Structure formats: structure tokens, C-alpha cells
Amino acid sequence: MKRSDKNRARVIEGLRKRAEGLEAEERVIEYVLDEDGNRRAVKEKTQIKYYPPDVSAAKACLELDGGDSFSDYSDEELAAEKERLLKELKALEGKKTKKPTESI
């Protein structure tokens, strides 16, 4: 596989994840300076962050992957697709994320 094909596949895969919505682990570390001016970790917080589906990413992914261009859709087809996506988004909004954990 050519390098450009690998890069294209990586971009499409990233767009696909963003288009479908994803959960990602996020880690935040709080630091303080001690008397000597050195940084010292005081609190570490890890949580799962939910990113909802992104319609723009879905459109770009479909167009890059050789799918139909949405600019060719009629107003009725676009309205039907919008309703379908809104119903899907509403169903996903009920999804809960995991609670953050803290450690020192």
C-alpha cells in the first residue's frame, strides 16, 4: 500500500470515528510548585469523555470514501436524513459516561 493510501485510510478512519461519536480517556494532572521551585503532582483525574456524532465528519467521510455527495440530494432527501440523524442523536443522548476517578 502506498504512503498516500495509508494516510487517506487514516484520515477516513478518524473521520468515521468522529462521525459515529466516540469515547476517549482524558487525563488531567494538577501540579504545585514546592519550596525549591520544582513541580509536584498533587491530583490526577482520569475520566471518559463522550464526543457526540458529528454530521460534518460524516459528510466528509462519505465524500472521501467515494460515497454520494450530499449536494446531489433533493431537499426532501436531506430533510429525511436530518430527521433520521436527529432521532439517532436523541437516542445516544441518554447514554451515560463513566464517572471520573481521582488519585494522588
Quote the CA–CA distance of 40 and 90 in Å, as a whole number: 43
Quote the CA–CA distance of 49 and 23 in Å, as a whole number: 6
Per residue of the chain (104 residues), give pLDDT as tens. Answer: 577 778 888 888 888 889 889 999 999 999 999 889 899 999 999 999 999 999 888 888 777 766 556 677 788 888 888 888 888 888 887 765 445 555 55
pLDDT given at position 98: 47
pLDDT given at position 1: 58
Nearest to 53 by CA among 78, 18, 93, 95: 18
